[in-house]
Structure 1
Amino acid sequence: MLKRVSTSDVELGMFIHKLEGSWFSHPFWKSKFLLEDPDMLAALRESDVDGVIIDVSRGNDVVERQQRTLARAASAPVAVQPAAMARPTFVRPPTVMPMAREFGRAKRTVGDALRVVNKTFLEARLGKTVNAKDVEPVIDAIYASVQRNLYAFNGLLRCQNGSEFIYRHSLAVSALMIAMARHMKFDPLDIRDAGMTGLLMDIGVGQLPVDLSAVGSDYAQLPAELKDQHVLLGCSFLKAAGDIPGSVINAVLQHHERLDGSGYPHGLSGNEIDKLSRMAAICDAYDTLSSASAAGAGLDPVEAIRVLRAQPEKFDATLLEKLVETVGVYPVGAFVRMRSNRLAMVVDEDPSDPSAPTVRTFWSVELNKRLKGTTIMLAQCFGEDAIEGVADMSGFDAAELDKLRESLLSAACKEFA
């Protein structure tokens, strides 16, 4: 039986049949689910959704909650009640949050998601089937973070030290795919498929007959004849699950195909490669290029974009520009040289001016020494400083860059918290 209840009366254990209002007013890509996650309950109560439709045949009824409340009240000692007071009215928090506010939530989401992805990949290696419901909570959490702040989740992954490459890569590509699909105004289910593609595109790596610890969990360091098998193994593995969308399975199979036919496993070209697969190819390549791995330090995000732009025969140029619009001209984590002869790192974006992000300075080129550092919102500094180009960070190794990124992002978020 279906019943409408106020958002304030929703509790864990209820089966949400429908969320009232526009999809853009709530932080979930799906409208039917059993509410079991306290964070999802909190997000629902903070959203602009006034009411929901629950299915009491599949979950708790609001009446049960009221009865339990009355029962507790009846057994409690009688207390003298103060005079009735008018309930205060609170303004709902905005859906979009600044980087500093989303930083802590994104950090918790990354930690939880990494544990789920780690478990999923290990179970895949042991032959256990992965079902859509196993990864949906991760996609929910990533989508909610992306909706609150487009740059926090992926920027944090870019600047966070540690975690095995394959797991961090899966989360980063999933977040990029969700953000890109959202920017391109995909419908909710297609955004879900985009995020699931990113999360599961390398699930076949767990099926390879090798010990990945020998290459720092970076399968790209394996011989080509072995590495290339992971898309076929992943496709077969996900088909066996039975509930993974066909578009996701197809994109997992095709995300290493290239427009000029030089990719694998089937050497497809041009329109033989569907849109979701082309998006996956771009997001996968971008994160691989810009992430530290067993091969060494990754490229600066700006340089990674330049590398992809230089290969229009392989990567869809129109979709690549959509990624640039999504992550910014200078993505979070990019090191830049300032007009003031200082080096800085991008720590946040300004959607109104992609060329003028927020940066955190850390080095004086003139004095050749580390600075205490200041955070500058370039879009609001009235020309006091500006980015002149990408910084040369060749003197740092991968571990040093990871630590530097993490410390600069943390310092900037603490300053604005």
Structure 2
Amino acid sequence: MSKIQTTPRAKHRLVVVGGGFGGLETVYSLRNVDLDITIIDQRNHHLFQPLLYQVATSTLATSEIAWPIRHLVRKYKNVKTLLGTVEGVDTTARTVLTTDGEVIPYDTLVLATGARHAYFGHDDWEPYAPGLKTLEDATMIRRRILTAFEKAEREPDPAKREEYLTLVIIGGGPTGVEIAGTIADLARDTLKGDFRMIDPATTRVVLIEGGPRVLAAFSEDLSAYAKSALERLGVTVHLGSPVTECHADGVEFGGRSLRAKTIIWAAGVQASPAAKWLGAPSDRAGRVVVNADLTAPDHPEIFVIGDTATVANGGKGTVPGIAPAAKQQGQHIATTIKARLDGDETPRPFVYRHAGDLATIGKRAAVTDFGWIKLKGYLAWWLWGLAHIYFLIGVRNRLAVALSWLWISVSGVRSARLITQRDIAEEITAEASAN
């Protein structure tokens, strides 16, 4: 293994690309080490992705799940924050290249660039079925959901009105299940009494999963409970029927067509192009196949973590792409860097500690699987809520989110159902005129 190159004239230069859970945890764990740290992200905020769907479904405001990166690291004098988009890595010169032409040198590089939604070769579906990975995705999906009700209110044709009141979610993992349950609550509780020409309770929420069950990562009994809980909320669940087409008028799956004006994609992700930057091997989702110590093949000075990497999990498949795993990887990298700076070059295999799986179904039910104990229903929902509140950043945000959830649970009212784009009224008027 090549040793870290340091010189008396300068501190060791660590560049972290990505301000998500893994990248930020790496920086946080090295805040008191004598390093020059540069963190680069194409957005100025750290995002709490597990609750992103709650912004998309009008439960929470954007400011409750996202925080400026500069603010989070303001006390760390050895950390510099850059807003920019990385377009490549020169592994020979050990530099990071940005789209605006800046060249940033590094001694150690951490790539934690995350992932985007993937359409399994059907990228032309994206305009009709947006995915959910960023705040922009969330506010756009919120716009589509709420606008569908506004258009239905103005639509005189019953058949077209039904299309607006049909919302389809593709993918039965945690995100798909959580979105479907929350939209059902929104339609039946929150919007009750808000409209005069339509009854939001008649909204048809359809969840389509290509596999044999929802929440496939959970045990079969919890998966079955989640399906039953969704159906009690009024969600129609279709299993074993992969979607074969998405278009402006709806979806096709299992040999049938379903007309719907709102489609949400929750079926798959694609890693950032980090593997191409490094010329490294990757899996089908584009994630870098890293060594046991999280370094890129042939590049011990480069670490790849989070959704950007595929990490073997000791005979148990691969490490899941979830926030706790990314944070553990960030801590592992920090420990390795500290050891290397002290002259210890011994490779340290990453060992993942799985705390459990959690998913919520609407505002009063959830499933949790910690291996040694499994919970479902209202108690699981409370546990799910406490776990997510704990990982939020700042007392103010924890209180704000807790109060929002409590108010919604008691009253059903969601305060974040705002359509913010200026062209909405014109769009609805134009469509009504065309009809």
Q: Same fold (TM over 0.5)?
A: no
Q: Which has the larger share of strand? A: 2
TM-score, with length taken from structure 2: 0.22
With a CA cutoff of 8 Å and minimum separation of 6, indicate the structure with the bigger relative contact order. 2
Higher helix share: 1
